Amino acid sequence: MSAQNPANSPLQNSILAALPPKDYARLAPHLEFCEMENGKTLYLPNGPIDYVYFPLRAMISVVAVTASGGSVEVGVIGREGMSGISAVLGVAKSADEVMVQLPDGAVRLEVAKLLQEFSRGEALHDVLLTYTHTFLKMVAQTAACNRLHHAPERLGRWLLMCRDRVQSTELPLTHEFLAMMIGIRRAGVSETALTLQEKGFIRYKRGHITIADEKALEGFVCECYEIVKAEFEEIGSLNSEARKTLAQ
C-alpha cells in the first residue's frame, strides 16, 4: 500500500497510513515535511517534546545514557512508528535521549495538534496505543537481549532492524556510532564486524556498512529480531476496524 504513494508522502509512515481518510485529513494540514539531519538530537533526557516525528524512510534512535558515560540504544523508530509517544501518555517530557540515526525524510507535527486529535478518542488514539504496546515489547526484548546475547548477534540484529526501517542494505554508519548503539567499545565493534565480514554476512569500509547476505545474517542473529519483527507486522495488519471488533 505504501508503494503506490510518492516517496515523500506522509502516507509512507504506517501510523499515518492506518488512519481513515477523515481522521488523516484533520492532521494533514499540520504535517510539516522535514529533512532529518544526521545525528541530530530531537529530544534530550527529561527534555521537552514539542514536536513528534513520523519517519518516512529516516530512522530514529532512543538511547539511554548513564552517568558514567556509557550509552545503549533501547529502541528504534522508523516508518512504522512515531517519536515522542510519551506526549500522548500525558507526559510532555522525553524519558531518554532521542536522535536521528539515518536521514531521509520525516514529517513532524506539533504536540498540541497531536493531542487535540488523540483526545477525540478515535482512530489515532487507538493506533498510537497499539504502537505503544509494540514499542514496549521491543524495549523489553532489548532489555533481555542486552543481558543474554553476545555482541555479534546483537550487532547483526541491529543492522537488520536498520535495514527494515530504511529499506536498504547500504547503511552509512561508523563503528563509533555502532558502539554507542549496541553498548560496547568502539574497538569491540571493529572485532565484531570483522567476524561478521569473515562469515560473509556484511562488507564495510569507512563509515559505510553493506549487508551482503541478508538471508544468512537473518539465520545468524538471535531470536529477538524475529520476535520484534513479528510483533510489528501483526499490529501493522490491524486496521482500526479490526481493532474495534477485537474489543468486543
Q: Smallest gap, in angstroms, from Cβ of residue 232 to a copy of itself?
A: 12
**Residue ranges binding DNA (CB under 7 A):** 70, 150-152, 174-176, 183-188, 190-194, 204-208
Q: Is residue 243 at the binding interface for a copy of itself, with CB under 8 A as the rule?
A: yes
Q: Which does 242 bind (CB under 5 to 8 A by kind): DNA, a copy of itself, none?
A: none
Nearer to a copy of itself, 149 or 199 (CB): 149
In whole angstroms, the minimum distance from the beta carbon of 136 to a copy of itself comes to 6
CA distance 170 to 178: 15
Give the closest residue to 10 by CA, choosing from 56, 57, 58: 56
**Which of 20, 70, 172, 219 touches a copy of itself by CB under 8 A?**
70
Kindly tell me which of 56 and 85 has the beta carbon lying closer to a copy of itself: 85
| Minimum CB distance to DNA, residue 225 (Å) | 16
Judged by CB under 8 A, which of 144, 176, 185, 233 binds a copy of itself? 144
Q: Which residues contact 17 (CB under 8 A, 6 or more apart)?
A: 1, 2, 11
Give just the sign of the alpha carbon dihedral 163, 165, 166, 168. positive
- Distance in Å, CB of 172 to DNA, minimum: 9
Strand, coil or helix: 13: coil
Residue 106 binds a copy of itself (CB under 8 A): no
151 binds, among a copy of itself, DNA, none (CB under 5 to 8 A by kind): DNA
Contact partner at residue 115 from a copy of itself, DNA, none, CB < 5 to 8 Å by partner kind: a copy of itself
DSSP string, 130-176: HHHHHHHHHHHHHHHHHHHS-HHHHHHHHHHHHHHHHT-SEE---HH
CA 13 to CA 4: how far, in whole Å? 13
Q: Does 92 bind a copy of itself (CB under 8 A)?
A: yes
What single letter denotes the amino acid at residue 56?
Answer: L
Residue 222 DSSP class:
-
